[in-house]
Amino acid sequence: MKIPQEADYKMNAADTEGVSRLTAHSVGTDYENQEELEEKTRLINQVLELQHTLEDLSARVDAVKEENLKLKSENQVLGQYIENLMSASSVFQTTDSKNKRKPTKSSKKTDK
């Protein structure tokens, strides 16, 4: 019975060595796969975060463009209003030295 025990021992040693190699390979491969999976997950999360940031920035740019157009339009309206006020007021009229009027006695009386 010693022979079967030796054979069992050799088979067990071979099996154990093979299982150890397989386990070491699997553990190494699993570890590498786990690292790759974690790296891929990290990169995917980073890409998603950057996409959200880009979407936020695009929305902000659109909002600023709209605000800019609105303000330009308001500035044009205000500019036209100021121009109309200035043209209607004698204070802002251009004066020529040749066309200056000297107040007459009758105009002084009517101004009062």
Q: Are 92 and 86 in contact (CB under 8 A)?
A: yes
Q: Is residue 26 situated within a structural domain?
A: yes
Q: Residue 32 has what pLDDT?
A: 86
Give CA–CA dist 15/26, Å, rounded.
16
The 10s digit of each residue's pLDDT in 5-56 is 444 444 455 555 555 555 555 556 788 899 999 999 999 999 999 999 999 9
Domain containing 51 equals 2-87
Q: Is this prediction's pTM over 0.75?
A: no
In a domain, 94, yes or no: no
Local structure of 77: helix, strand or coil: helix
Using the structure block, give the residue that is written with the tokens 């299982």: 19
In a domain, 102, yes or no: no
Question: Do the domain assignments include residue 75?
Answer: yes
Total tally of structural domains belonging to the chain = 1
In a domain, 93, yes or no: no
Task: Classify residue 110: in a domain, yes or no.
Answer: no
Summarize pLDDT for 62-82 with one digit per residue, the tens.
Answer: 999 999 999 999 999 999 999
51 belongs to a structural domain = yes
Q: Is the pLDDT of residue 87 over 50?
A: yes
pLDDT for res 70: 97
Burial profile 37-64: b = 16 or more Cβ within 10 angstroms, e = fewer: eeeeeeeeeeeeeeeeeeeeeeeeeeee
